[in-house]
Structure 1
Amino acid sequence: MEINRIKKQLFLIGMIAIAIIACRRDSGFYDHKALSQTVPVNTYDYLKSKKGIFDSMVLVIDRLGLQTTLRDSNITVFAVTNSSFRLAVTNLNNTRKLAGKPPLNLSGMDYIQLDTIMTQYIMRGKITTEDMKDQDGLLLRGVRYGYQMNARLKTNATSGFENGGPKTIIYSDTRWTQFQRSWASTSTSSTNIIATNGIVHTINQDHIAGFQDFVKRFTLNFPPKNYFKLYGGKLTVSAEAPDSPYPEKSYFMVDGSAITKFLNTNALVTKPFWINIEFPTAQICNAYAFTSANDNAGRNPRNWNLQGSQDMVTWEKLDQQINQDFPEFFMQKVYRFQNTKAYKYYRMNITENNGRATELQIAEYILGFKL
């Protein structure tokens, strides 16, 4: 009997001890914290090591020459999976098929448009989820053009946990507006991969690369705001077209119609051929566009550079392009460059055409600002 009594007492003590420990361990709530994973490589090598996941993004990074940026700079990458690019390219090619155009792939897509798309995913600075706690999120800037994105931490509802359950990032293209209803947003599937030079967050696989603009960028290419028309610029060229039965003077580069054109068969006798635009007051330009004309592709510009000046004496290089091609007539190509400085004079220097002796033709030239 005494032994049974002792057993009961020990059992009761044990149960009390278990209850006390359980109460200490579980107050009913936990502070749910995001986990971080540290990897001993830079962001580029991390993406490249994930075979079958980020191959498409690495292909685009390689095409754009961004390897050094991803290896050396302090950055945050919102990594886009193969699935996201596959969805975007499939949607694009379905649209092109309906328009009777051949399919495109990432290896052959327009460099300028891919460059614009990637500035949405590679941000300046090392930014973890801890930096995104504010209700309105955090404004981020792209590494190349300072394009503005927003990252906001979201806590998913989970019963019994303090501060909710798993945390994800709501990642948004702000489209340069403060009105959130106009933003295009997606979310992350994993966060806080800490590389040697930056942070990697992975975008959900159901995201379509380029947000809502991927198809439009490779089917419709919106020109910059035409500052020549908005502010009444003055146009001069280094070699005006000679008189002919056909109106092909320099003015027709800026008349707003691709049907007319500038043509000078001796434009490149003295190189470079330059196009000068003078504004009444200094303007900040960060984009321009060329439109090819109605015939002979050998006359199209191939190599050029753009300069800005305050006095027509000292010039600063703003952009340079080589080996450009316009495979279709009446084809417009838009070029963006990084610039926050206002210039009174902008000079486009064309150094080579596509092989037609000294001839040069341009249907439209637009200089201005592109969001």
Structure 2
Amino acid sequence: MINRNRKLMAWPIVVVALLGTTFTACKKNSEYYAYENTVKEFDGTVLQYLQAQPANTFDSLLLVLNRLPEIKDSLENSNITLFAPTNASFEAAIKNLNILRKDQGKTPLYLTDCNLDSLELMTWRYVIRGSRTTDAYVPFADGALFISLKNSYPMHIKYNKLNASGFVQGGPQSIIYSDPKNSIFEKYWQRANTNAVNIKAKNGVINILAPLHDYGFNEFVSRVNQ
């Protein structure tokens, strides 16, 4: 494990300011919401941006943030880049959890019930130190490691320009956001794509993760199933 960690740190790592943040949780019954970005600049904080979006977009994330005051505060007062999971990401995680719990003869769990330490550990991975748009990632052809605001956890960010209308890389900008799991071997990484990028708030930049992403980067079930 020590050698693996040393190799991992050979990737480019970008470290910026430390900040504090908080989380909230999911509703038991909420619809999947296909997020469509219509605003590139928001006159408010990162937290206020989440709160201003339509119902069934970030309700689950806001619920988790309400349970995690430190993370919530960082979205209001710290200089950050947020990779925001929508309701669909939480619903998929909760669904998988409760399928397993049913098989085990256990009662269902929801975001309001989940262990706070586990929620906090997983949620910090979506909050990166410093405010950056995709311009910061373009120079790294293979992507680079960026550090979470707390716990100094390395997350891998790779810029991806999609193709469109017959032009190579002529389409919209995208980011592949990955949890390397402290491994240099990409087959172990858990990846998430973005639906929208470069939404600028007063204290940071918001990138919206695609709904197919499972909150927790495939660790939610194992961490909260007690």
1:38 counterpart SS class: coil
CA distance in 2, matches of 1:61, 1:136: 32
- Mapping 1:149-188, distance limit 5 Å: 149-161=155-167, 163-188=169-194
Identity %: 36
Give the number of the structure whose residues are more often strand, by fraction: 1
Q: Is the 8 A contact 2:174 2:196 kept in 1?
A: yes
1:72 to 66, 74, 77: 77
CA distance in 1, matches of 2:168, 2:115: 48
Measure how far apart 1:217 and its partner are: 1.0
Question: For residue 209 of structure 1, what is the amino acid of its counterpart?
Answer: Y
CA distance in 2, matches of 1:140, 1:59: 26
Question: For residue 121 of structure 1, what is the amino acid of its counterpart?
Answer: Y
Q: Deviations over 1:313-371 (max 9, x none)?
A: xxxxxxxxxxxxxxxxxxxxxxxxxxxxxxxxxxxxxxxxxxxxxxxxxxxxxxxxxxx
1:139 counterpart SS class: strand
1:119 counterpart SS class: helix
Is 2:206 the partner of 1:200?
yes
Q: Is the 8 A contact 1:36 1:192 kept in 2?
A: no
CA distance in 2, matches of 1:127, 1:183: 23
Q: What is the aligned partner in structure 1 of residue 127 from structure 2? A: 122
Q: What is the aligned partner in structure 2 of residue 209 from structure 1? A: 215
Is 2:149 the partner of 1:146?
no
Question: For residue 84 of structure 2, what is the amino acid of its counterpart?
Answer: A
Question: For residue 42 of structure 1, what is the amino acid of its counterpart?
Answer: T
CA distance in 2, matches of 1:162, 1:85: 34
Measure how far apart 1:89 and its partner are: 0.3
Measure how far apart 1:36 and its partner are: 7.6
Q: What is the aligned partner in structure 2 of residue 99 from structure 1? A: 104
Is 2:51 the partner of 1:45?
no
1:120 counterpart SS class: helix
TM-score by length of structure 1 reads 0.48
Q: Is the 8 A contact 2:162 2:168 kept in 1?
A: no
Gap regions ≥5 residues in structure 2: 1-37
Measure how far apart 1:162 and its partner are: 5.9
CA distance in 1, matches of 2:142, 2:120: 28
Q: Deviations over 1:38-68 (max 9, x none)?
A: 1100000111111320010011111011222
CA distance in 2, matches of 1:47, 1:188: 16
Q: Deviations over 1:79-121 (max 9, x none)?
A: 0100110110011011011001111111110001001110111
CA distance in 1, matches of 2:39, 2:143: 20
Q: What is the aligned partner in structure 2 of residue 355 from structure 1? A: none
Measure how far apart 1:160 and its partner are: 3.9
CA distance in 2, matches of 1:160, 1:64: 46
CA distance in 2, matches of 1:162, 1:209: 31
CA distance in 2, matches of 1:159, 1:107: 45
Root-mean-square deviation (CA), in Å? Answer: 1.6
Question: For residue 59 of structure 1, what is the amino acid of its counterpart?
Answer: L
1:39 counterpart SS class: coil
Measure how far apart 1:176 and its partner are: 1.3
2:199 counterpart SS class: strand
- Ranked by relative contact order (alpha carbons within 8 Å, sequence separation 6 or more), the top structure is 2
CA distance in 2, matches of 1:193, 1:40: 11
CA distance in 1, matches of 2:72, 2:39: 24
1:201 counterpart SS class: strand
TM-score by length of structure 2 reads 0.78
User: Which portions of structure 1, spanning 4 or more consecutive aligned residues, are displaced by more than 6 angstroms?
Assistant: none
Gap regions ≥5 residues in structure 1: 1-34, 221-371
Measure how far apart 1:139 and its partner are: 1.2
Higher alpha-carbon Rg = 1
Measure how far apart 1:159 and its partner are: 4.3
2:60 to 53, 56, 60: 56
CA distance in 2, matches of 1:153, 1:173: 15
